[in-house]
Amino acid sequence: MSLNYSIDCRCCGTHTDHRVATNLRSRPSSAELLRHIDTECAIRCPKCGSRLNGSYEEFRSQIIIEVCD
């Protein structure tokens, strides 16, 4: 199963796509995945360098998650 997600930076509007292979056995919802977001380590925009995950709410407003089989 893979996890596709995209982040739209609120600062500069840059759209970045990511794909991560997971070992999840069941299909989680986006809300379940977002509960595990780490706000300690910074995720930065590749273009402007602004922090995308300063808080859970801020990150949630910028990310779109798609779970694929």
pLDDT digits (tens, 9 = 90+) for 10-57: 999 999 988 877 676 777 676 776 666 666 788 899 999 999 888 888
- DSSP state letter for 48: T
Return the higher-pLDDT residue of 64 and 20.
64
Number of domains in the chain: 1
Instruction: State residue 1's pLDDT score.
Output: 66
Instruction: State residue 56's pLDDT score.
Output: 81
Sign of CA dihedral 14, 19, 22, 24: positive
Instruction: State residue 38's pLDDT score.
Output: 65
Q: Which residues contact 30 (CB under 8 A, 6 or more apart)?
A: 65, 67
Residue 68: pLDDT band (50, 70, 90) is confident
Instruction: State residue 13's pLDDT score.
Output: 92
The range of the structural domain enclosing residue 18 comes to: 2-68
